[in-house]
Structure 1
Amino acid sequence: MATAGQAREWAREALRGIGNSLYTPFCGADGDDIDWDAYRTLVRYCVGELRHPMLWCTSGIAEFWSLTMDERKRLLEVAIEEGRAADPDVVVQACTAAMSAKDCLELTLHAQHAGADIVYIQTPMMEAHGGEGVLRFFRYIADRTDIALGMFNSPSSGYVLTPQESARIYEEIPAVCATKEGAFRPAASRLLHDLAPDLTIWECDTTVYRAGWLRAGIVGPAQLGTSGYLYETPQRPIHSQYWELVWSGQLIEAMDYAEKSGLDQFGVDIHTCFVCYPGRPDYFTHWGGAFKYAASVLGLPIGAYPHSRPPQAELPAAARAQIDAAYRRYGLVGA
């Protein structure tokens, strides 16, 4: 675990590689229970079989808004237990966003004591009073904990921090060492780097990596909270091989590989299924049912209740067909 005082130096060294955002497999009537065996299998698959070096727990893909406090704590504990058994050095990242600062504090303290390496706090989803309100939220947590903190700047919160607001949080909260910039605003991430050059940035618009931003030191060598386990298999580690080329500075080779392997086309074919609900196409969402259906296509266990808990809708047949077709075209499943 990285303490608050160690956070920034630790982040520059430890946040490397693919960090998998884990889904929550549900079971029971209306998905009211969690299939713990399926969850353990998922963790072992990501860390032990795919050999990805980081886990990202209880965030958007996990549908954290539908989980109880006890469920969120237990999901993190199991990820740490299984992940460290498969790889003692796996970096475990806990997301502790909540509708109240007190609940976020409880989850953050739990993550600290359970052995997580870093906690990420998504821009609060309640009526945050802009950057000032988010700063107060972070300060409340930081004053009462001793663990590395990261920002998760996502449009699914309903409010996206400006570069100036994020830089102020970084300046005033020493425990803050990293950010996942999820709003797909490369220009904003570039400005944020200028304002806070030592902040470890993950830009979700991955085209910036092909533009040499890693080599320039604008972004870090990590994928913070993605679904890399849905883009490859142990037999065909396409996603890992692509990113290894990027991280080693072989950008032309990486782009050629992404095109020839089908990775680029797969991203086009499947992306909207994960982040867009047709009934509200203007809103960025983490559609848990879509991620889990994709996992099931690859043969991963998703629990007996394959849908999301409320308030998310069930995945329609058209989306399932789109996901099936994307995997067939990609070649990860049979024609």
Structure 2
Amino acid sequence: MPIEERKRAQEVMLEATAGRVPLMAGTHHQSAKEALALTRHAQDIGCDFAILLTPYIASNNDRSVLEFFRYIAERVEIGLVLFNSPGATYPISPELAKELIRIPNICGMKQADHNPYTTLRLQEEVGEDIRISVADENVWFHNMTQLGHRWLLTYTPHMYQVPGRLPIKEYTDLVIAGEIAKAAEVSASLTPIRMANAKWIMEPWRKGHMTMGAMKTWMELIGMAGGPVRPPVVPITDSEKDALRADLERVGLLQKAKAGV
């Protein structure tokens, strides 16, 4: 999205939520100046946090990442969340994270390298100082009950849930209430939907394919406004759309979306 569209998207989020929930704006950009402009805009309009990837071309060492985040953090007051996605950008190692959290307004980290060892190392190095969120609903129940995590930052809740049927929220609330056995049952009920997500989103992504076309089609099928993709991303084919629709029907998600239950 162009810069102005991204700024407008931040504004629309604020208008739609009307203060009901905290908001985090994605202000990633290859250019530190553009990332700063997006972050300042998020701060100025009232977003609660901004999340940033490391630069996806220019940063090829720890020092460059440190300087990138320092440049932005020194010029804003909004809380900043690190986004570790080694499949797309320079990785944030536990050692680098320990250096980054010395920057006062860095307060959280989205851990998206899908490596349990890295997560445990991050927990050891910075878990007492910032909030860590593993960007994977598959391990959310485990991370809540075993690691004490209380923050899930990922795309799946809006794809797995429909009005009147919020299983991720349900089992999260049950864990917080101490009803672990009930929470485990609700979590287990999502296995078929997780399998569909693995097939259409995660496995292609891990093989280096952009999956926005499948994601947007999924959203439209359950009643959201997915919209078309833009170049260089390509849409999925008609036959793929039919296959995705069949998979979502098989796991019962389309029926729940249509019924609103």
Instruction: Give me the TM-score of the superposition, normalised by structure 1.
Output: 0.70
Tell me, in whole angstroms, the C-alpha distance in 2 between the residues paired with 1:284 and 1:131: 27
- Once the two structures are superposed, the pairs formed by residues 49-68 of structure 1 within 5 Å of their partners are 67-68=1-2
Alignment partner of 2:120 out of 165, 190, 208:
190
Alignment partner of 1:239 out of 151, 168, 179:
168
- Once the two structures are superposed, the pairs formed by residues 202-241 of structure 1 within 5 Å of their partners are 202-211=133-142, 213-215=143-145, 218=147, 220-241=149-170
Q: How many residues were matched structurally?
A: 255
Tell me, in whole angstroms, the C-alpha distance in 1 between the residues paired with 2:94 and 2:88: 16
* Residue 188 (structure 1) shift: 0.9
Unaligned runs of at least 5 residues, structure 2? 257-261
Deviation track 1:247-279 (CA, whole Å, cap 9, x = no partner) reads 3343332222233x3x111111223322454xx
- Once the two structures are superposed, the pairs formed by residues 1-335 of structure 1 within 5 Å of their partners are 67-84=1-18, 88-170=19-101, 172-196=102-126, 197-211=128-142, 213-215=143-145, 218=147, 220-259=149-188, 261=189, 263-277=190-204, 282-283=207-208, 285=210, 287-303=211-227, 306=228, 308-334=229-255
Letter in 1 for 2:135: C
Tell me, in whole angstroms, the C-alpha distance in 2 between the residues paired with 1:191 and 1:77: 36
* Residue 184 (structure 1) shift: 0.7
Mean Cα deviation higher: 118-127 or 308-317: 308-317
* Residue 283 (structure 1) shift: 2.0
Letter in 1 for 2:88: S
Consecutive aligned runs of 4 or more in structure 1 exceeding 4 Å deviation? none
**Cα distance change of structure 1 residues 178 and 73 upon mapping to structure 2, 3 Å threshold:** same
**Cα distance change of structure 1 residues 239 and 214 upon mapping to structure 2, 3 Å threshold:** closer
Q: Identity over aligned residues, as a percent?
A: 29
Letter in 2 for 1:74: R
* Counterpart secondary structure, 1:235: coil
Mean Cα deviation higher: 239-248 or 108-117: 239-248
* Residue 206 (structure 1) shift: 4.0
Mean Cα deviation higher: 178-187 or 239-248: 239-248
Letter in 1 for 2:169: S
* Residue 312 (structure 1) shift: 1.3
Deviation track 1:185-210 (CA, whole Å, cap 9, x = no partner) reads 12211111211122100112445443
Tell me, in whole angstroms, the C-alpha distance in 2 between the residues paired with 1:295 and 1:209: 22
8 Å CA contact 1:96–1:107 kept in 2: the answer is: yes
Partner of 1:14: none
Letter in 1 for 2:194: G
**Cα distance change of structure 1 residues 334 and 147 upon mapping to structure 2, 3 Å threshold:** closer
Letter in 2 for 1:231: Y
Unaligned runs of at least 5 residues, structure 1? 1-66
Letter in 1 for 2:8: R
